[in-house]
């Protein structure tokens, strides 16, 4: 088995409800669609049927700031793999600026700076020189262990165009491709590769929109997300349907050449809050061992007393 061991790698954590944490999808979504600010939390428990599964949680806050001509945001993400063996924590700061092309279309451009820390719990690793024939792993290891934690800066950017119920954007994360080596020796295979997100969607109101109150109208929102990071690729394709406060959604996720999961989403949107739940049904050949994943999200929005520019009130990020 050791002779066949090679280099291992993985992509950044990406939520199924990718619009519930908009800044993690594209920094240029910070503050867009808001009359003030928004605070949100999200949690994902992936592949719960296996030990040492992946768990990801995040908190985010973004707000329109007319005094600085745009919007700002901060988000914190924590990802745990291997039941705590490997952890990743990222703190992200965003500044977003909107430009009116005309009375219908607006372009938002953003910059993001991140501080990322990764850690390994070496107390949970065992080595051959620790074995005592009759007692097991009782000896101290003589292995040369690397740093338990490594910190790295990362810089990202994004842009979104929105108008007439349509929106599309692109974001590039880890522009500087920082080294994440635990041995302090930057080189091939140690760099955090760039990740590109391309997303688009639109809002379609069904029926006679003049005779029905806006909150009671049926709105369909087809959306697509395409993410690529080095040799890894995934595409989420699906739609939201909303009427009154109820929001539902059905999605399909493709990863490379493999169909990965069907995603069912249900949520409720009140006047100031939004709560959602989704379940991923594994459809790949791994379904016998990894049956599904759970994800929940919550967001609270508020308006500012100071008037917000109209270009920030674009109707995008329709669901979760």
pLDDT in tens, 1-40: 555 555 555 568 889 999 898 999 999 999 988 888 999 9
Domain spans of the chain, in order of start: 28-313
**Percent of the chain scored above 90 by pLDDT?**
48
Query: What pLDDT is stored for residue 4 in this prediction?
Result: 57
pLDDT in tens, 69-100: 899 999 999 999 877 688 999 999 999 999 88
For the chain, the average pLDDT equals 87
- Model confidence band, residue 236 (pLDDT cutoffs 50, 70, 90): very high
State mean pLDDT over 57-65: 95
Among all chains, which residue has been given the structure tokens 């409720």? 268
Nearest to 263 by CA among 276, 249, 275, 247: 249
Q: pTM for the whole thing?
A: 0.87
pLDDT in tens, 187-206: 787 899 999 999 999 988 88
Tell the CATH superfamily of the 28-313 domain: monomeric porin ompg (2.40.160.40)
pLDDT in tens, 294-315: 999 999 999 887 788 777 777 6
């Amino acid at each position: 088995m050791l002779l066949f061991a090679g280099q291992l790698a993985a992509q950044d954590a990406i939520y199924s409800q990718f619009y519930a944490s908009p800044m993690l999808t594209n920094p240029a979504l910070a503050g867009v669609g808001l009359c003030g600010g928004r605070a949100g939390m999200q949690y994902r428990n992936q592949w719960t049927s296996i030990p040492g599964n992946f768990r990801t949680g995040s908190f985010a806050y973004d707000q329109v700031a007319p005094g600085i001509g745009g919007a700002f945001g901060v988000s914190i993400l924590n990802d745990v793999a291997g039941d705590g063996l490997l952890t990743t924590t990222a703190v992200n700061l965003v500044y977003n600026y909107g430009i009116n092309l005309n009375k219908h279309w607006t372009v938002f451009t953003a910059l993001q700076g991140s501080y990322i820390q990764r850690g390994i719990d070496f107390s949970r690793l065992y080595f051959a020189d620790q074995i005592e024939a009759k007692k097991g792993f009782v000896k101290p290891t003589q292995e040369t262990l690397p740093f338990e934690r490594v910190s790295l800066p990362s810089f990202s950017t994004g842009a979104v165009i929105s108008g007439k119920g349509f929106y599309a954007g692109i974001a590039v994360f880890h522009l500087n491709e920082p080294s994440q080596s635990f041995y302090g020796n930057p080189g091939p295979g140690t760099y955090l590769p760039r990740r590109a997100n391309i997303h688009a969607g639109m809002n379609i109101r069904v029926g006679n929109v003049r005779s029905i109150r806006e909150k009671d109208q049926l709105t369909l929102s087809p959306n697509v997300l395409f993410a690529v990071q080095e040799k890894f690729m995934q595409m989420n394709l699906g739609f939201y349907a909303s009427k009154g406060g109820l929001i539902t959604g059905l999605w399909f996720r493709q990863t490379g050449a493999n169909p990965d999961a069907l995603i069912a989403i249900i949520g409720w949107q009140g006047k100031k809050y939004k709560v959602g739940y989704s379940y991923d049904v594994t459809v790949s050949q791994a379904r016998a061992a990894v049956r599904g994943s759970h994800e929940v999200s919550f967001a609270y929005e508020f308006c500012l007393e100071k008037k917000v520019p109209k270009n920030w009130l674009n109707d995008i990020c329709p669901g979760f």
